[in-house]
Amino acid sequence: MAEADRVVDGALRGIRVADFSRVLAGPYATMMLADFGADVIKVEPPAGDDTRHWSPPVDATGRATYFGGVNRNKRSVALDLTDAAGLAEARRLAATADVVVENFRPGVMARFGLAYPEVRELNPGVVYCSITGFGAGEGAALAGYDLLVQAVGGLMSITGDPDGEPSKVGVALVDVLTGQNAVAGILLALRERDRTGEGRLVEVNLLQSLLSALTNQASSTLATGRPPRRLGNQHPSIAPYAVFRAADRELVIAVGNDRQFAALADVLGLSGLVEDARFRTNADRVAHRDELHETLERALAAASAGHWADALTVAGVPAGLVNDVAEAISFADALGLDAVAETREEDDASSPHRSIANPIRLGGDGARYRTPPPALDAHHGADWLPRG
């Protein structure tokens, strides 16, 4: 069987994805699809996806880990869309794809004749997903960088120390959220195509993905007209729900109701707190959060964070260590979650590529990890183009 006609098992078996996206939101989305059997053909410029060059760090093969984290299970072809031959190949691929994904600025794909109207003429059943920073209207000219969206989208205003500067989240979270929304939109459109035979334009953008993810903070603003303020690691509506210092390191205690608060007080030898007028109800605890925090930390200083996390968990109080990323991966593995996926090069089975596993499980038809992130243009052979 020719490479172009390969069939991969999985829930998305038989779905061909022409992936014109780069960096993070789009590649994250297409990797999620590839993990469940979609044949994702990653179209890259001759120099490759920018993230191929975002190093250090690199893995054992010298591959940039940023690129490696979101591009497993794909094929790579390098096409110069400013060249007539390369553009012709790209159009043929789009004409045979079930799904097209792109995250250029609005208008770029139209200049190549690869925008949704043009592709739909060639391929009426195509599901075309366009990922932008701020939509295709008034915000079309704005650059969709994650940090910028965290700023203008309000996330930085509620992240960080109350007396410090606004802070970004420690990962490009808005890109990841947008990638997840893209996956949901694509699957919705494919389901509709199953019923009608017609394709659909799917549009997601970083700003609306972030606003949607603000959930209770956004709903509070709409209801009261008052935007929330930064509270550091405190919660605006619940206490104690924060980071606390024990004898050796930090832990989180996340009390959500009065029963859990009583159990917390009992474990810490502070049973009298439940009758203290300042802390009797959640509303009381929120009003006196600083005093409560100081009281709890004085008790927590008597033992290690690990001791308290174990004792509180046994008592039914949500608590845990503030792990670094390596500790977090080990913690997930200890829970039997198989947090790490391994793939191997065909010619070098001794050096597996390790990446974080797909979080979606479908039982026996779940995610499958077949191939590591591809080398640039690794699949641009004589038979790479799908038939049709």
186 near 38, Cβ under 8 Å?
A: no
99 near 14, Cβ under 8 Å?
A: no
**Nearest Cα to 155, choosing from 81, 215, 77?**
215
**3-class state of residue 82 by DSSP:** coil
Q: Which residues fall within 8 angstroms of residue 86, CB to CB, at 6 or more apart? A: 79, 80
Element (H, E) at 284: helix 282-287
Token output for 162: 């109350």
Burial status of residue 250 (CB atoms within 10 A of its CB: 0-12, 13-18, 19 or more): middle
**Nearest Cα to 192, choosing from 127, 130, 129, 128?**
127
Alpha-carbon separation of residue 378 from 38, 77, 96, 364 (angstroms): 18, 7, 20, 30
Q: Which residues fall within 8 angstroms of residue 209, CB to CB, at 6 or more apart? A: 174, 177, 178, 181
* Residues annotated as part of the active site: 175
